[in-house]
Amino acid sequence: MIVPMLLMVFYSLKEYPEGKTLIQLLTSDFTLKNYIDAFKSDRFDIYFFNSILVASIVTLSNLLFCLMVGYALARWKSLTSKIIFSSVIAVLFIPSHVIMVPLYRLMVELGWINTYFALTVPWMVTPFGIFLVRQYILNLPNDIEDAARIDGASEWQILFTIVAPLAKPILFVLGIYTFLSNWNSFLFPFLFTNEESFRTLPVGLAFYLGKQSIDWGHLFAGAAISGLPIIILFIIFQKQIIRGLTSGALKE
């Protein structure tokens, strides 16, 4: 798994790697020319900004809305909440590609093609995020919440001052997962945008592949620009991710 990524970075720092032998590549000088050319020859700065903006908006929205819905479904026991939760589970069984055509027609009807709304609004809350947060909150003791209600705290205060801090591990997992999914998303950004100014990195890299069909050095530089930020993000937050995934696996 690591070798392809290392080769990607290695080739991106070499000039015209396809025309050199392995010995020549190992002994040749490193250069940032491929990265500089990638930003100059294409709009990778715009693609990078769009990916950061879209992934950040979708991630923050999921953290907020999934926390609210997950808390409501976990704490309010009623027939309505069971029906809603069942519908959330049902949506998990539907592949995203099934809704591709109706979602595209909806974006056209709303006039959202080539806008940030099409890239963010449909993904601001996800059934997977609701399910993940709800299952985690079910394992949290509600004694503190009951004590807060006795002291006169509102449900909003309980949610954001008591439940949210206790749910930090799973929120970290949801945040990283959501950011990663949207950063790597290709199909829907490709469908909803046909202007360079709204393309994200995966879409821009696909078009760059057509422009640079032989120059592997520049292609690997573009791939590294797209992949390295999310790898660095995982390295920084790997402890929180693992802690969140294993929380609740063991009970005393």
Helices (H), the chain: 2-12, 22-27, 33-41, 44-75, 79-92, 100-110, 116-120, 127-138, 143-150, 155-158, 164-166, 168-183, 187-192, 201-211, 216-246
Residue 248: left if φ>0, alpha if ψ -120 to 50, beta else—which one? Answer: left
pLDDT in tens, 1-57: 788 888 888 878 877 655 566 666 667 777 788 787 777 767 778 888 999 999 999
Alpha-carbon span 206 to 81, nearest angstrom = 43
Q: Which two tokens stand for residue 99?
A: 């809704």
Residues ≥6 apart with Cβ < 8 Å to 167: 67, 133, 136, 137, 140
Q: Which two tokens stand for residue 84?
A: 């809603």
In a domain, 6, yes or no: no
In a domain, 241, yes or no: yes
The domain total for the chain is 1
pLDDT in tens, 92-146: 888 888 889 999 999 999 999 999 999 999 999 999 999 999 999 998 888 888 8
pLDDT of residue 119: 94
pLDDT of residue 205: 80
In a domain, 165, yes or no: yes
Q: 21, exposed or middle or buried, with CB in 10 Å at 0-12, 13-18, 19+?
A: exposed
Q: Residue 56 sits in a domain of what CATH number?
A: 1.10.3720.10
Q: Report CA 184 to chain centroid distance, whole Å.
A: 7
**Structural domain span for residue 240:** 45-200+229-246
pLDDT of residue 251: 44
pTM score of the predicted model: 0.80
In a domain, 16, yes or no: no
The CA–CA distances, whole Å, from 199 to 48, 52, 56, 96, 177 equal 9, 12, 15, 20, 21
Q: Report CA 10 to chain centroid distance, whole Å.
A: 26
Alpha-carbon span 192 to 188, nearest angstrom = 6
In a domain, 175, yes or no: yes
pLDDT of residue 215: 66
DSSP string across 116-152: HHHHHGGGSS-HHHHHHHHHHHHTS-SHHHHHHHHTT
In a domain, 22, yes or no: no
In a domain, 34, yes or no: no
Minimum mean pLDDT range among 117-131, 150-164, 223-237? 223-237
Q: Report CA 237 to chain centroid distance, whole Å.
A: 14
In a domain, 189, yes or no: yes
